[in-house]
Amino acid sequence: MRVTKNELKKLISTKLHRAGLTSEHADMVADVLAYSDARGLHSHGAMRVEYYAERINKGGTNCDPKFDFKTTGPCTGVFDGDNAAGHVVANLAMDEAIKMAKQNGAAIIGIRRLGHSGDLSYYVRKAAEAGLIGITMCQSDPMVVPFGGTEKYYGTNPIGFGIPGRNNENIVFDMGTTVGVWGRILHARSKNEQIPEGWAVDENGNETTDPHKVNALLAIAGAKGYGLGMVIDILSGILVGQPHGKHVSSMYHSLSTGRELGQLHIVFDPARFGAFEKFTQGIADTIREINDMKPAEGFDKVLVPGQSSAKRVAAYERDGIEIVDDIYNYLVSDVIHNNRYDHKSPFAE
C-alpha cells in the first residue's frame, strides 16, 4: 500500500491520539515516524505504532508529563522527560540544546526518563538545519553479546551526527553499534525475509539468518563496536543517572511502567572555531570530491551520509511511501492495539 507522507502522518497521529496521547504529542511522534518511513528506515516508522499505542494505552507512556529543564552551567543542562513519549522528549530537549548552543556556543544536554525516541537522525538534522553540529546518543535494551562473552549486556546503543553544509546539503549520519539493528530484524519478520549473515546469534550462540530465531545481536567490528556501545551507555545512562547495561528496561517487559531511558545531546556552533562560510565551503568541497570519485564496481556513485536518504525521500514524494498491508490495515482500523507486546521477551514481534 502506498500513501503520501502527510497521509501517513495523519493516520499515525490519529491512532496515537486515540491511544491516549494529546493531539500535540501525537503529532510530534507521528512526524518522527513518518520522517523515518519517508527516508526508507521503515524499522523506525509506522511498524512501531501498535507497540507505542499499547504502551500508551496501558500507562507506560505518561500522557500528562511535567517536563523539567534545568541549566547546570552556561553550556550544560538536564531535561527530565517524566517518562513521556521519547520522540517528544528528545525533540524538546534538542530545541533547548539548539537555543543554548546559539547563545553560548555549545550545549550538552543530559536527558532523563524518556521512552524510545526512534530515529536519531531526526534530532541531529534539526541541529544541522540550524547551522549547528549535532550529536546524539542513547541506550537501549540489553540484547548484544559483548565481545568474547556469551550473555546479553548492552543494547544496540545508537549514535547520530548532523553537520551543516551549504544550500541545506547537510551531512546526516546515524548508526547502531551492532551489525544489524533490532528494528530491521522486526522489519524482516514482518516481510518474512531472511537477515544477512553476521547480524545475530540464536539461543545457542550460533549465527542465524532466521529473524525468528534471533536471541542476541553482534557488535560491529568486534571489540571496537563493543567498546563504542559501552561508551554510549556510560554517557547516556550512568552520566545522567539512569540505569545502565543489563539494567536498562526491556522494551516489552512491562508496558504499564515507564522505560526510564537516558539520552545525551551535544550541540555546538562551528562558527566559534572559525568563519562559518569557510567551514561550509569545506563541507561542500568534501561532498563534491567524494561524489566525483570513481565508484567501485557495482556502484553508480560514491555518496556521503544522508544522500541515499534524500534520494529515497524524493522518490517517495513522487510515488508515495510503501507500507506493509498489515500495518496499513491496522492504522485505518478502529483497533487501538491487539495486546501483542506486553511482557514479551526483548526479541518479541
Q: How far is CA 116 from CA 237, 263, 299, 334, 342, in A?
A: 14, 10, 35, 24, 15
Tell me whether residue 86 is exposed, middle or buried, using C-beta atoms within 10 angstroms of its C-beta: 0 to 12, 13 to 18, 19 or more: buried
Q: CA 252, CA 240: separation in Å to the nearest integer?
A: 23
Please, what sign has the CA dihedral across residues 240, 242, 244, 249? Answer: negative
Tell me the three cell numbers of residue 96: 533547548
Please, what sign has the CA dihedral across residues 35, 41, 43, 44? Answer: negative
**In the block, which residue shows the cell 504502551?**
55
**In the block, which residue shows the cell 505504532?**
49
Among 115, 111, 113, which residue's Cα sits nearest to residue 79?
111
Q: CA 166, CA 287: separation in Å to the nearest integer?
A: 10
Q: Which of 42, 87, 116, 337 is catalytic?
A: 116
247 tagged catalytic: no
Q: CA 91, CA 120: separation in Å to the nearest integer?
A: 10
Residue 266 and residue 119 in contact, taking contact as beta carbons nearer than 8 Å: no
Tell me the three cell numbers of residue 145: 553479546
- Name the H helices within the chain: 5-19, 23-38, 49-57, 86-104, 121-129, 182-190, 223-233, 276-291, 307-319, 325-332
Residues serving a catalytic function are: 116
